[in-house]
Amino acid sequence: MAKDGPNWDGLLKWSIANSDGTRPTHNLSEEDKRWFMEAMQSQTVDVIKRMKEITMVMQTPEQVLEAQGVTAADIEDMLDELQEHVESIDMANDLHSIGGLVPLLGYLKNSHANIRAKAAEVVSTIVQNNPRSQQLVMEANGLEPLLSNFASDPDVTVRTKALGAISCGYNCCSIVYFLILNFTLIRYNKPGIAAFRLANGYAALRDAVGADSARFQRKALNLIQYLLHENHSDCNVVNELGLPRVMLHLASSEDAEVREAALRGLLELARDKTGGSNGGLGEEDEKLKQILEERIKGISLMSPEDLGAAREERQLVDCLWSTCYKEPSSLREKGLLSLPGEDDPPPDVASKHFEPPLRGWAANHTGDSKPSVKKQEAPLLLGPIPPN
């Protein structure tokens, strides 16, 4: 905002003097009108213009700003100002239109903890009670750095501000759905997995595997298998939510990758030692056996090309059968578990196409029985003749 201009106290006194009700109203002179407009304009900021200027700064590389003398404290002050502007829902939505949302989200990964925390505060303001901006932040992958900061940032203030932004803009289902599609965020990330459980993630997974999208089903099933593999105690939660029944249904899906993902999850449940003789599948044993028999029949009718593509499914069906019923599946008897040539080592193409020059030269000269250059024998060195 401008620092030079008419004194606000003077403007207030002038306004009171001209509207105290003690005198009849009168038209302002042109000079008074001009003075009043100049006073107001000098104290008015073009918000969009100022947001564009801030956007230019955010888009400038950090090393360039440092070379120009801009400090981390200056950036924090700038973000403070931006936060004031985006308190208006219209201005918050306009930030994306002028190109400022993406660089703001980039500040969530800034090397300065104070800037990461302040950027999360601005995001909180943008998404609060603003579905349009919530969607824009999601589409710009803004939830990823927020979740990452919340789960693992070394600075407690950054973690707190990140959680605040997540809480302001997104409910648990939205967060879990995002994690399903981007579950690398919680792979090998214990705090992330804990946050997933606290967000009632398995309930959202149950809804996800029932979705119409095969891609979404596949990703949800892969996440279930990973979580069960990491912690078999979660098998109880999965059973209570009725997920095995849904997974059995998806094991007959027309989508091969969905079938395989469902079978991998069922195998983790079957390997759970706390679920009785058939692991964590419990009452679904008969249904499982029926599904596996149907898959064996379906595999038996496959063409040679389809059999090759279904290698993992064949192995999963056999492994699941062996785990549950303590005997090999009929795929072994039919010779369908391992097809001819599948276990052969791959052809040695490297030595043929990338043969070292020396080895190639030696190979070319091994069978040459008539070398072009005859090897010279070393001369016999004789000493002086000994005396008689």
> 300 in a domain, yes or no?
no
CATH number, domain of 161, equals: 1.25.10.10
pLDDT of residue 3: 46
Q: What is the pLDDT of residue 82?
A: 95
DSSP letters for 6-18: S-HHHHHHHHHHT
Q: Which domain holds residue 50?
A: 45-171
Tell me the residue length of the chain: 388
Position with higher pLDDT, 373 vs 265: 265
- Assigned domain for 243 exists: no
The predicted pLDDT at position 264 comes to 95
In a domain, 203, yes or no: no
pLDDT in tens, 40-87: 555 556 889 999 999 999 999 999 999 999 999 999 999 999 999 999
Residue type for 53, please?
A: E
The per-residue pLDDT for 115 is 96
Residue 216, domain member (yes or no) = no
**Does the pLDDT at position 373 exceed 70?**
no
Tell me, yes or no, whether 193 lies in a domain.
no
Residue 161 burial (10 A CB sphere; 0-12, 13-18, 19+): buried
For residues 248 and 35, give the distance between their C-alpha atoms in angstroms, rounded to a whole number: 79
Task: Give the rounded percent of residues in the chain with a pLDDT score beyond 70.
Answer: 69
Burial class (CB in 10 A: 0-12, 13-18, 19+), 295: buried
pLDDT confidence band for 193 (50 / 70 / 90): confident
Residue 2 pLDDT > 50, yes or no?
Answer: no
Residue 129 has pLDDT above 80, yes or no: yes
Averaged pLDDT for residues 101-109: 96
pLDDT confidence tier of residue 383, bands split at 50, 70 and 90: low
Is residue 261's pLDDT more than 90? yes
Per-position DSSP letters for 209-255, written without gaps between them: HTSS-HHHHHHHHHHHHHHHHH-GGGHHHHHHTTHHHHHHHHTT-SS
pLDDT at 360 over 80: no
Establish if 155 belongs to a structural domain: yes
What does the CA dihedral 147, 151, 156, 158 come to, rounded to 10 degrees?
A: -20
Are 221 and 258 in contact by the 8 Å Cβ rule? The answer is yes
**pLDDT value of position 12:** 58
User: 47-59 vs 72-85: helix axis angle to the nearest 10?
Assistant: 150
Position 26 in a domain: no
pLDDT at 126 over 80: yes
The answer to whether residue 158 is domain-embedded is yes
CA distance 325 to 289: 9
What is the tens place of the pLDDT at every residue in 279-329? 556 667 789 999 999 999 999 999 988 998 999 999 999 999 999 999 999
Instruction: Provide the number of structural domains found in the chain.
Output: 1
| The pLDDT of residue 24 | 59
Continuous H helices in 128-213: 131-139, 143-152, 156-169, 172-181, 190-198, 201-209
**Comparing 183-187, 205-209, 211-215, which segment has the lowest mean pLDDT?**
183-187
Q: What does the pLDDT average to over 368-383?
A: 52
1: pLDDT confidence band, cut at 50, 70 and 90?
A: very low
Residue 256, pLDDT above cutoff 90: yes
Mean pLDDT of 357-370: 54
